[in-house]
Chain A
Amino acid sequence: MVNLRTFVLAVAALVLPLSTAAAAQNEITIARSVSTTAMDPGFLREAATIVDNIFDTLVMRDDDMKLVPGLADSWKAIDDTTWQFNLRHGVKFHDGEDFNADAVKFTIDRILDPAANSPTISYIRTIASVEVVDPYTVRIKTNGPDPLLPTRMSRYPTYIVPPKYVQKVGNDVFARKPVGTGPYKFVEFIPDQHVILEANEDYWRGKPSIKKVTWRAIPDGTARVTALITGEADLVENVPVDLAPMIEQSPDADLVQVKNGGLTIYLGLVMKDKPLDNVKVRQALDAAIDRKGIVDNILRGMATPKGTQVGPADFGYLDIPPTKYDPQKAKELLKEAGYPDGFSIKMQSSHRYMKDGEVAQAIAQQFGDIGVKVDQEVLDWSVYTQQVPRKGPIFMLGWGSTQTLDADAAIYAIMRSGEPYSTADVPELDKLLDESRKIVNPAAREKVLHEVQKVAAETVPLLTLYQEDSLYGKAKDVVFAGRQDARIPVFDIKLKSAE
């Protein structure tokens, strides 16, 4: 028979190691909401957060999001369709292989190969060919003028991979055991469990301060925040809005809020369907939404009401104030449009963005206030992506320039008629958008992009709502400010206790 004392001792033995295991020197655990499936940067189907620490790109972004030299020392446009990159000397991959022009050519050719079916080929679709001039010089030719080419060289899929290693082990093994030039070397990957990386002491930018990183996936928001507060994780991504106060109040953790670090949420309108083809109806719906009320009360101020889809950090941004909340004017507009008693319409949303379920219900209620009866449909994301944007007729989506930080990425795909994700159909917008893609001169391009945003604000092809902040939680000991482009460069993270 087990007596009580033995039992208590046994429980203590189970519980006690917990308190001592947490504080290890210069190691951190980062918890994300999604699992990693593969780490081949050319064939990612997920955010590049982990890969970003193993590999480098030719061009990098500093903390202010300015393009700075990465594996390329410098670059310049030679003519309208040719960019030359001069590469850094003396950089080696983690397995000792040399980084050079061949590696760059191999990296890009591998993605462009139609047989490879890269899911991210669209990001570098403009590239026609890569030419090796000498071991440390490459020229990239584009199909037409492409002012964004250096930007394309700063994000996935163009992380530079080691040709010999990839050819030796094949793509499948490479995706599980990646080798790059980056600040961290791959150690271990157990799916759904963790990815472990260790510092690359020979890194060309210097020795990383953090020696070991463990990436874990904790899908449930409450469990993820609990892990931070109990010290099981030192940094967590994707903090649910309503748990933010808990982190702020915790003596052990801080909230990191990156203003405008997230996507811009909008309601797409299928413009070919009645009554959304009527601009007055679209304007009425626009004025019926209380953006400030939603942001303040539902999102706890963790977002910014917006009047344009372009983010303030993007090239080409024009500061357009959000549409004023005016239900009275909305009702009048509806009357002018010939719908004095409103109408019924279906609105689709999913579970993907900050409290999108609550926001969709609040908007449905506000539309109801002006007589527009909303029939809500909330679908699982997997089903949603198949129906959006064709079904609608109103649907919620988030979009952003993400790592491109250029207005083109934020608007072209959702406002140019005929694009896969666009339900807009405004000829004037199409003309301007097409024009913007043909201009290389930055000042002239910026002017056209401003014009696009003005026209969009008048014709309302979609209802821009707000731009999300991105929220992280970190242990007090961790130095991390968050970045506009949502990367987590562990190279820049430090522990106070280790200094």
Chain B
Amino acid sequence: MISVKTLSFITGRALQGVVVMFGVSLIVFFALFLTGDPAALMMPPEASRAEIEAFRQAMGFNDPVLVQYLRFVGGILHGEFGNSLRFQRPALDLLLDRLPATALLAFVALAWSSLLGFVLGTIAAIRQNSGIDFAIRVISLLGQAIPVFWLALLLIIVFSLNLRWLPSSGIGTVQQLVLPSLALGAYYFSAITRLVRASLIEVLGENYIRTARAKGISNWRIVVHHALRNALIPVITVQGMYFASLLGGALITEIIFAWPGIGRLAVDSIQTKDFPVVQAVVIFAALVFVVMNFLVDIAYVFLNPRIRL
């Protein structure tokens, strides 16, 4: 079934992914290396210079850069990012502990935004240039225009403080999931609505649809049976990327709603200069992105044989 050409395409893409990850590791390591020395921050203000120096020595911050980098890459290959300076636990464990919370939030946010985006995008495309179309487009533009921290605070004020319908923070119940996923999904809802509308309009303009329409097949039938399927491809493509960026990008939402996820871990770790954890989070987010893109590339080959290999 799978041709040699396809196989070499897949291997090539996989290799590219490895190269990208290597580049990411280099950037992450040196960016953090340049931010300076965490020892002063980790020790209490009354600590003496000698105590700070002893701590620095013990943590290996005094070794040459190259040694530190090689130790870093060697560790990653074994799945070790070192111990968190704050928690005294393996950085990877901390990340994996928080993964389910972020994944849940990202999944729910993406689910509602895709679903609603798909429905509204389709309606807008079919009723192109109508009042409904205009309204949907304005709504979707607003979703992109409102910064997430603005929306998050607004949601808390309206639904928690004034209406008392939903809790403002924490994790554990379904209610607690509602506001953060609304805030996080708003941007993606807008993006998906716009994308579905645009790609559907493009497909609707193509010849085979015009032919079908000329044959007298109803508009809705055309959309459901022909157009949507073809319009789906670009949407699926960006979904993969969105999911990856959601994982890494939920940080403001997680902080405001006290959601115990990876984003909050990342910001706390940057603020406390917890090197190993920051490295683990960035590498992980990049890995998710690379893998998602790889899967999308492969899906492309099988979904759309027209793609030239």
A residues sitting closer than 8 Å to B (CB atoms) are: 14-15, 17-18, 35, 37-38, 43, 45, 114, 117, 119-123, 125, 171-172, 175-176, 190-193, 216-220, 222-224, 226-227, 229-230, 232, 380-383, 385-386, 413, 420-421
Contact = CB atoms under 8 A, between A and B. Distances in A.
A386 B86 CA distance: 17
Given A119-B44, A216-B170, A227-B168, 5 more contacts: A120-B44, A175-B88, A223-B156, A229-B161, A385-B41
Interface stretch (B115-123, B236-244, B269-277): B269-277
Contacts of A227: 167-170
A38 B256 contact: no
Contacts of A117: 54-55, 58
A34 B161 CA distance: 22
A230 B164 contact: yes
Interface string B66-79: 00000000000000
Nearest to B149: A220
A220 B167 CA distance: 14
A45 B168 contact: no
B89 A385 contact: no
B153 A119 contact: no
B241 to A, nearest CB: 27
Given A18-B166, A229-B161, A382-B41, A218 B87 contact: no
A175 B86 CA distance: 11
A191 B98 contact: yes
Interface string B89-107: 1000010011000000000
B94 A191 contact: yes
Contact of B168 (A37, A125, A226): A226
Size class of the contact patch on chain B: 35 or more
A217 B89 contact: no
Contacts of A14: 174-175, 178
B297 interface: no
B265 interface: yes
B51 A223 contact: no
A119 B89 contact: no
Contacts of B171: 193
Contacts of B153: 222
B146 interface: no
Interface of B: 35-37, 40-49, 51-52, 54-55, 58, 86-89, 94, 97-98, 153, 156-157, 160-161, 164-171, 173-175, 178, 255-258, 260-261, 264-265, 268, 270-273
A424 to B, nearest CB: 15
Among B43, B94, B265, B270, the one with the most A-chain Cβ atoms within 10 Å of its Cβ is B43
B258 A223 contact: yes
A37 B47 contact: no
Contacts of A120: 44
A381 B47 contact: no
Nearest to B171: A193
Among B167, B169, B270, the one with the most A-chain Cβ atoms within 10 Å of its Cβ is B169
A232 B169 contact: yes
Nearest to A116: B58
19 contacts: A15-B166, A18-B166, A38-B88, A122-B43, A190-B260, A191-B94, A192-B261, A192-B264, A193-B260, A216-B169, A218-B170, A218-B258, A222-B153, A226-B161, A230-B168, A232-B169, A380-B271, A383-B36, A420-B49
A232 B89 CA distance: 30
Contacts of B260: 190-193
Nearest to B85: A45
A340 to B, nearest CB: 38
B265 to A, nearest CB: 7
Contacts of A35: 268
Contacts of B271: 380-382
Contacts of B48: 122, 125, 420
Q: Which 7 A-B pairs have CB atoms at the shortest separation, nearest pair first? A: A192-B260, A218-B258, A122-B46, A193-B260, A226-B168, A220-B256, A37-B86
B167 A230 contact: yes
B44 A232 contact: no
Nearest to A220: B256
Nearest to B43: A119
Given A121-B51, A122-B44, A229-B161, A45 B86 contact: yes
A492 B265 CA distance: 33
A123 B40 CA distance: 16
Given A193-B260, A223-B256, A122 B47 contact: yes
A408 to B, nearest CB: 11
Nearest to B256: A220
A192 B86 contact: no
Contacts of A382: 41, 270-273
Given A226-B156, A385-B40, A232 B255 contact: no
B167 A18 contact: yes
B88 A172 contact: yes
Contacts of B54: 114, 117
Contacts of B268: 35
A191 B178 contact: no
Nearest to A228: B168
A120 B258 CA distance: 28
A122 B255 contact: no
A364 B131 CA distance: 53
A127 B261 CA distance: 42
B41 to A, nearest CB: 5
